[in-house]
């Protein structure tokens, strides 16, 4: 087989280079003739957390069923709020001494302004898990999803106790 009949597919994902070689020309390749494997890294740093939180909020803010809580009720300035969220998740995932506030209290105040319903928590958690899965894979990523579920559960319990 001539060298020109080989295809080399290079993919850079999360800092890793994946190289796949196939013996068919791309123009004539059929589905299944070649494979691009994307290897995702785990959440390892504040930069990773920033990426996660930024992409997560991009999803939340495009969903009308939940975005109003952030834009109309909380009126968050995302540029100001993102570093706070990164500090929070840095503490949650890596035990960093970056967040010392009560994360529940501001949400209780928001709930009094506009009730948080079960579907809000399901939507929030769904987008969080989807974003983690799109970007990362590994024990810290798994832990982030578990901790997000715990946070959502605790928040719902606290809201129920307010009634």
Single out the residue of 89, 101, 102 nearest to residue 147, CA to CA: 89
Q: How confident is the model at residue 39 (pLDDT cuts 50, 70, 90)?
A: confident
Q: How confident is the model at residue 66 (pLDDT cuts 50, 70, 90)?
A: very high
**Predicted confidence (pLDDT) per residue in 90-103, tens digit:** 999 999 999 999 99
Residue 121 or 14, more confident: 121
**Predicted confidence (pLDDT) per residue in 7-35, tens digit:** 555 656 566 666 655 544 444 444 555 55
Residue 105 or 16, more confident: 105
Could you give the domains of the chain?
1-39 (no CATH), 46-162 (1.10.490.10)
Confidence at residue 27, expressed as pLDDT on a 0 to 100 scale: 43
Between CA 97 and CA 5 the distance in angstroms is 55
Q: Residue 34 in contact with residue 22, Cβ under 8 Å?
A: yes
Between CA 158 and CA 163 the distance in angstroms is 9
Confidence at residue 15, expressed as pLDDT on a 0 to 100 scale: 62
Q: How confident is the model at residue 55 (pLDDT cuts 50, 70, 90)?
A: very high
Whether 50 has a pLDDT exceeding 80, the answer reads yes
Single out the residue of 157, 144, 152, 116 nearest to residue 49, CA to CA: 144
Confidence at residue 162, expressed as pLDDT on a 0 to 100 scale: 84
Give mean pLDDT, residues 131-158.
Answer: 96
Longest C-alpha distance within the chain, in Å? 74
The pTM assigned to this predicted structure is: 0.77
Confidence at residue 16, expressed as pLDDT on a 0 to 100 scale: 65
DSSP the chain: --GGG-EEEEEEETTEEEEEEESS-TTT--TTS-----PPPPP-SHHHHHHHHHHHHHHHTT-TTTHHIIIIIS---HHHHHHHHHHHHHHHHH--S---S-SHHHHHHHHHHS---HHHHHHHHHHHHHHHHHH--SHHHHHHHHHHHHHHHHHHHHHHHH-
């Amino acid at each position: 087989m001539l060298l020109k009949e080989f295809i080399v597919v290079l993919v850079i994902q999360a800092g890793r280079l994946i190289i796949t070689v196939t013996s068919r020309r791309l123009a004539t390749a059929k589905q299944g003739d070649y494979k691009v494997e994307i290897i995702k890294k785990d959440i390892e740093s504040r930069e990773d957390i920033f990426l996660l939180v930024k992409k997560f909020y991009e999803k939340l803010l495009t969903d009308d069923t939940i975005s109003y809580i952030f834009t109309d009720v909380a009126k968050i300035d995302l540029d100001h709020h993102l570093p706070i969220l990164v500090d929070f998740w840095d503490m949650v995932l890596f035990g960093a001494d970056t967040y010392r506030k009560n994360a529940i209290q501001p949400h209780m105040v928001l709930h009094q302004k506009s009730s948080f319903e079960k579907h809000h928590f399901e939507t929030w958690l769904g987008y969080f898990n989807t974003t983690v899965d799109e970007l990362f894979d590994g024990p810290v990523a798994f832990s982030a999803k578990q901790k997000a579920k715990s946070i959502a559960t605790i928040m719902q319990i606290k809201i129920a106790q307010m009634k």
